[in-house]
Amino acid sequence: MKEQISSKEGLRSLPHFPTVLIGTGTGEKSNLITAAMVHVFSIDPPMIGTGISPKRHSFSLLKKKGEFTVNVPDKEKLEELKGCGEVSGKNFDKYEKFGLEKEESETIDVPGVKEFPLIIECTVEKNIETGDHLWFIGKVVNAKRDEDFDRSDTILYWGGEFREPGELLE
Ligand SMILES: Cc1cc2nc3c(=O)[nH]c(=O)nc-3n(C[C@H](O)[C@H](O)[C@H](O)COP(=O)(O)O)c2cc1C
């Protein structure tokens, strides 16, 4: 017998989302936002979308530049990941505040996070308005990762909890 749950609880029950830092803005104005609303929107061509609320400072940076980086942390960077989701970059530099270094991108002007093992560069192709978030759908124009990148050493976000990927089933 299943219990009836609210629509919001249905969303929260969905198995994990990846949690990443989305890089926006350029130069001195480069910013980082913690985002769990991240998904693959097409495999060919490769497209990634991220849902950003208009309330965020990152929203206006994304609207202005139309480029972003998807920076995937390993478990050691949990505090930095949480921190970038608690404060706004409107008034200060989050790279400096959280001791992260900018890594120049290969194809776009927005930098990535040097200490993170996977960086994907995207250019915004379209926006989709849904409800309280606007989806920025980006074409993947470059991707790079550490040679020893380990998918299981990443962070997931599930209904308010940070988790790590579980056992391999098959
Ligand atoms: C785990 C976690 C996931 C988050 N996911 C999103 C998200 O997908 N979209 C969004 O707009 N905000 C998300 N937020 C909130 C922003 O990260 C937060 O409001 C941040 O301070 C905004 O920074 P900014 O004003 O510099 O852009 C998330 C926060 C946390 C802690």
- For the Cβ of 52 lying below 6 angstroms from any atom of ligand 1, the answer is yes
- Look up the pTM and report it: 0.96
Taking the centre of ligand 1 as the mean of its atom positions, its distance from the CA of residue 61, in whole angstroms, is: 14
pLDDT-derived band at 160 (thresholds 50, 70, 90) equals confident
- Burial of 141-164, coded b for 16+ CB within 10 Å and e otherwise, reads beeeeeeeeeeeebbbbeeeeeee
pLDDT-derived band at 13 (thresholds 50, 70, 90) equals confident
Which atom of ligand 1 is nearest to 24's Cα? 27
- Ordered by start, the domain boundaries in the chain are 33-71+117-144
Q: Span 33-71+117-144: which CATH code?
A: 2.30.110.10
Which atom of ligand 1 is nearest to 133's Cα? 11
Q: Could you give the 3-state DSSP secondary structure of residue 96?
A: helix
- pLDDT value at residue 75: 96
- Burial of 116-129, coded b for 16+ CB within 10 Å and e otherwise, reads bbbbbbbbbeeeee
pLDDT per residue over 88-123, tens digit each? 999 889 999 999 999 999 999 999 999 999 999 999
